[in-house]
Amino acid sequence: MEQINNISNVQMDDSKTVVEIKNLRKSFGKQEVLKDVTLQLYKGENLVVLGKSGSGKSVLIKCIVRLLDPDYGSIKVLGDDVSFIKRNELSKLRMKIGFLFQSGALYDSMTVKENLEFPLRRIKKKMTQKLMDEKIAEVLENVGLLDALHKMPSQLSGGMRKRISLARTIIVDPQIMLYDEPTTGLDPVTSDEISLLINQVQKKYKTSSIIITHDIECARATADRLVMLHEGEVYKDGNIGDYENSDDPFIKSFFKG
Partner 1 sequence: MKTKLPVVKIVPKIRDATIKISEKTIVKTEQANEFLVGVADFFLFLARTIRETFSRNFEFKEFLRQCHQIGFKSLPLISITGAIMGLVLTIQTRPILDGFGAVSLLPSMVAISLVREIGPVITALICAGKVGSGIGAELGSMKVTEQIDAMEVSSTNPMRFLVVTRVLAATLMIPILVLYADAMGIMGSWLGVNIKGEVSFVLFISQAFSVFELIDFLPAVVKTFFFGAVIGLVGSYKGYTAGRGTESVGVAANSAVVLASLLVIIVDMIAVQITDMLI
Shortest distance (Å) from residue 29 CB to ligand ATP: 7
Task: Select the binding partner of residue 119 from Mg ion, partner 1, ligand ATP, none (C-beta < 5 to 8 A, by kind).
Answer: partner 1
Q: How far apart are CA 139 and CA 72, in angstroms?
A: 38
Rounded distance, CA 127 to CA 121, Å?
8
97 lies in the binding site for partner 1 (CB under 8 A): yes
Closer residue to Mg ion (CB): 38 or 184: 184
Report how far apart, in Å, the C-alpha atoms of 94 and of each of 59, 62, 67, 207 are. 17, 12, 11, 14
Binding site for Mg ion (CB under 5 A): 58, 102
- How far is 17 from 43, CA to CA, in rounded Å? 6
Task: Provide the minimum distance between the beta carbon of 225 and ligand ATP in the complex, in angstroms, as a whole number.
Answer: 19
Judged by beta carbon, residue 136 or residue 243, the one nearer ligand ATP is 243
Of 220, 176, 183, nearest in space to 201 by CA: 176
- From candidates 5, 12, 54, 67, binder to partner 1 by CB under 8 A: 67
- Nearest CB to ligand ATP, comparing residues 65 and 120: 65
CA distances from 138 to 97, 172, 173 (A): 20, 12, 12
Q: Find the shortest distance in angstroms from Cβ 25 to ligand ATP.
A: 13
Residues that bind ligand ATP (CB under 6 A): 28, 33, 51, 53-59, 102
Q: For residues 73 and 144, which CB has a smaller minimum distance to ligand ATP in the complex?
A: 73
- Is 145 buried (19+), middle (13-18) or exposed (0-12) by CB count in 10 A? buried
Closest by Cα among 202, 215, 212 to 255: 215
**Single residue of 23, 92, 131, 146 touching partner 1 by CB under 8 A:** 92
As measured in angstroms, the least distance from the Cβ of 212 to partner 1 is 14
Task: Pick the binder of partner 1 from 4, 78, 85, 105 (CB under 8 A).
Answer: 105
Closest distance to partner 1 from the beta carbon of 184 (Å): 15
Specify whether the CB–CB gap between 227 and 9 falls below 8 A: no
The phi, psi pair for 181, rounded to 5°, reads 50, 70
